[in-house]
Amino acid sequence: MHTTLSIPIDISFLLTLDLEQGTLHELQRDMRREARRTLLAALRAGIARIEKALLAAPVLCPSCAKPMRSKGRTVRRIVTVFGSLELARAGYRCARCRTIRRPLDEWIGVLAGTEYTAAVREQALYLSADLPYERAADVLRHVGGIGISGRQIQRLLEAEATHIEAAIHGVRRKGEAPLRRRFRRAGRRGDTAGAERIQQLRHLKTSGRWDEYWSRRFRQEAAATPPVATSADALEPAV
């Protein structure tokens, strides 16, 4: 049975413009900046409503099916397409087996080891298929307002490479040239593992299966998020 939740999103902001000195460029720049802030605030409010709905019923232990006790909230940072969010998520502990659950983490589906949502990773890798990592990071910061470094984008591709290779079956398109020029500038050969990952990323991007691939990855990531926290998570300080 599917449960639906209606989330009212109110997006509005006020801009002040000097008619004598102001320009269309400034109006667009200020509007984009305020729109990002407003969308981020709306996303935060929407997530709060979702967590409230998730906690409306007793949180049960996945091991012994008993109601769990609240253990306060802990802060987690995630990077979304609208910017960075710090979320104070409710945690629950089983008194019998000491299992830890955080229902909001389970719903969000961001896997351990990364703070970047799948939507951010999709945008970063789309750019890095054609741009050096640092240039891709610069575009994300300037156009999307997403703070990320070139090295972080490289790590994201390394983590995603196995899934991309499986999606394209490791086949290089006919006539596809190696990336010698791009990698030679960084003092590396064009036949390295890093260059191969870029070639596979380009192949996926030009195959017409990019949207299909990421739609599947979003679902896989949500399904793979473990409902039980590790023992290290149990040591997080509550807020």
Q: What is the pTM of this model?
A: 0.78
Mean pLDDT of the chain: 84
Residue 236's pLDDT band (boundaries 50, 70, 90)? low
CA pair distance 128, 156, nearest whole angstrom: 10
Q: What angle do CA 48, 54, 57 make, to 5 degrees?
A: 135
pLDDT in the model for residue 226: 58
CA pair distance 168, 209, nearest whole angstrom: 9
Q: Residue range 75-95: average pLDDT?
A: 93
Residue 108's pLDDT band (boundaries 50, 70, 90)? confident
pLDDT in the model for residue 10: 84
The pLDDT tens digits of the residues spanning 186-219 come to 445 545 778 889 989 999 998 889 999 998 888 8
Coil vs helix vs strand at 93: strand
CA pair distance 104, 115, nearest whole angstrom: 14
pLDDT in the model for residue 185: 47
Judge whether residue 110 has pLDDT over 50: yes
Judge whether residue 127 has pLDDT over 90: yes
Judge whether residue 225 has pLDDT over 70: no
Q: What angle do CA 80, 227, 2 make, to 5 degrees?
A: 80
Structural contact between residues 100 and 64, judged by C-beta atoms closer than 8 angstroms: no
Structural contact between residues 71 and 92, judged by C-beta atoms closer than 8 angstroms: yes
Residues in CB range of 194: below 8 A, 6 or more apart:
154, 183, 188
pLDDT in the model for residue 177: 52
Sign of dihedral through CA atoms 229, 232, 235, 236?
A: negative
pLDDT in the model for residue 230: 45
The pLDDT tens digits of the residues spanning 18-33 come to 999 999 999 999 999 9
CA pair distance 25, 235, nearest whole angstrom: 49
The pLDDT tens digits of the residues spanning 142-179 come to 888 898 999 999 999 998 999 898 888 745 555 555 55
